[in-house]
Amino acid sequence: MKTREEALALLHEYTQSESLRRHAYAVEAAMRAYAEKFGEDVEKWGITGLLHDFDYERYPGMPHEHTIVGARILRELGYPEDVIYAIQAHADYNHLPRNTRMAQALYACDELCGFIMAVAMVRPTRNIADVEVKSVKKKLKDKAFAKGVNREDVYRGAEELGVDLDEHIRFVTEALTRVASALGLDGAESA
């Protein structure tokens, strides 16, 4: 298995956007937390979260280059097939069943991480620790807020992972709080 440092270098090589990097850090944190909760390989799950969109900036085009090109690159670099599979399965257009817990967790965390970060960004404190489950659920109903986030993916993700939506939101928010400074959501920028 590759190290986090190697995965981080790969992410930085392919992703220049700070917001995309922060999204990767968020999904990594959520995946690490779920791996710990489920008694899985924390490093492997974290790397899967870190790299899930590493190719997106370079290969966002159609037909569905994102994850397809990335899978080729990851195979060439010797990443495990279960990591590659989970990354490919997080994109619905690949039509792969999310039949592993790692794939289910990645899908469940991806859109929700972005949404929770968006909720934190509009708070006066810009501190993710101030985000509450009820605030996230209220914003999920507001179609004008964070329009790029697919709400169905958020709901389906929790269902596929077999977790209650409120608990899922709370759990992911707590995981992101642990890396709030790397996400720029620790309140330091609002001071």
**Which CATH number characterizes residue 132's domain?**
1.10.3210
Q: Is residue 154 part of a domain?
A: yes
105: tokens are 């967790």
Checking if the pLDDT of 63 tops 80, the result is no
Q: Is residue 65 part of a domain?
A: yes
Q: At what angle do helices 18-38 and 101-121 cross, to 10 degrees?
A: 130
Checking if the pLDDT of 191 tops 50, the result is no
Average pLDDT value for the chain: 95
Checking if the pLDDT of 66 tops 60, the result is yes
Q: Which range of residues forms the domain containing residue 129?
A: 4-183
Q: Is residue 191 part of a domain?
A: no
Q: Is residue 188 part of a domain?
A: no
Checking if the pLDDT of 94 tops 90, the result is no
Taking the C-alpha atoms of residue 17 and residue 103, their distance in angstroms, rounded to an integer, is 25
Model pLDDT, residue 154: 97
* CB 65, CB 122: distance < 8 Å: no
Q: Is residue 128 part of a domain?
A: yes
Model pLDDT, residue 189: 58
Number of structural domains in the chain: 1
Q: Is residue 189 part of a domain?
A: no
Q: Is residue 190 part of a domain?
A: no
Give tens-digit pLDDT for 103-145: 999 999 999 999 999 999 999 999 999 999 999 999 999 999 9
Taking the C-alpha atoms of residue 97 and residue 58, their distance in angstroms, rounded to an integer, is 26
Beta-carbon neighbour count of residue 63 at 10 Å? 6
Q: At what angle do helices 42-51 and 81-89 cross, to 10 degrees?
A: 50
CA atoms 7, 170, 121, 59: torsion sign:
positive
pTM of the model: 0.95
